[in-house]
Chain A
């Protein structure tokens, strides 16, 4: 199946600190999606990146897609307690038929 590594597995930060999670693929991707899952909840779509080198922002969240379309990152500036949850990347290959997810990064924010 799709080889994708997501790091770190866990991150504990103080409220106000920044946070970054990385998703690295062994193969070139067509596009990549990011999801957030709150504790006890279901995954919710955040964004999709399609173009090489693409950068998208959603308020304090910045998403990047690497130039080679093999890696991606999600950066949160000045975390808040509402950012708590697990963040998953979902890399999508050409000739897509199956969905794969990274193992997720669990973020805990201390107030």
Chain B
């Protein structure tokens, strides 16, 4: 089954404690993204990757890091989380700009 998986699904942490949210896709997609979703603001792209070892900033990259060492995995790293990073995070993948995006189930992060 074609899918994007994310872990963990829920996470409560404290300010400054480094965390990683994993994302994996099994569709051999080249393009992967991370989004955050906040009420009234829709989905905003944090980082994207057009292929292995190629990553670039989206609209809201501050406070986040990513890596793309393998085609299937695209982890999101928060080196020093802050309360304003409390949000719902989605990973997505697609085969190119003419193709649909497949979204993971989401990770709800709370930073206290």
By a beta-carbon cutoff of 8 Å, the part of chain A in contact with chain B is 1, 6, 9, 30-31, 33, 35, 41-45, 48, 50, 88, 90, 92, 96-104
**Interface: B74 (CB within 8 A):** no
Q: Is the CB of A33 within 8 A of B100?
A: yes
Q: Which residues of B contact A98 (CB under 8 A)?
A: 45, 48, 58-59
Q: Which residues of B contact A48 (CB under 8 A)?
A: 98, 100
Return A26 CB to nearest CB of chain B, in Å.
16
Return A87 CB to nearest CB of chain B, in Å.
11
Q: How far is the CA of A41 from the CA of B104 in the complex (A)?
A: 9
Return A90 CB to nearest CB of chain B, in Å.
8
Q: Is the CB of B101 within 8 A of A31?
A: no
Q: Is the CB of B106 within 8 A of A42?
A: yes
**Interface: B102 (CB within 8 A):** yes
Return B39 CB to nearest CB of chain A, in Å.
10
Name 18 interchain pairs, CB-CB below 8 A, sorted by A. A30-B97, A31-B98, A42-B90, A43-B92, A43-B103, A45-B100, A48-B100, A50-B98, A96-B97, A97-B48, A98-B58, A99-B33, A99-B58, A99-B101, A101-B35, A102-B42, A103-B41, A104-B42
Q: Which residues of A contact B41 (CB under 8 A)?
A: 103
Q: How far is the CA of A98 from the CA of B61 in the complex (A)?
A: 13
Q: Which 5 residue pairs spanning A and B have beta carbons closest together?
A: A45-B100, A96-B97, A103-B42, A42-B103, A101-B43
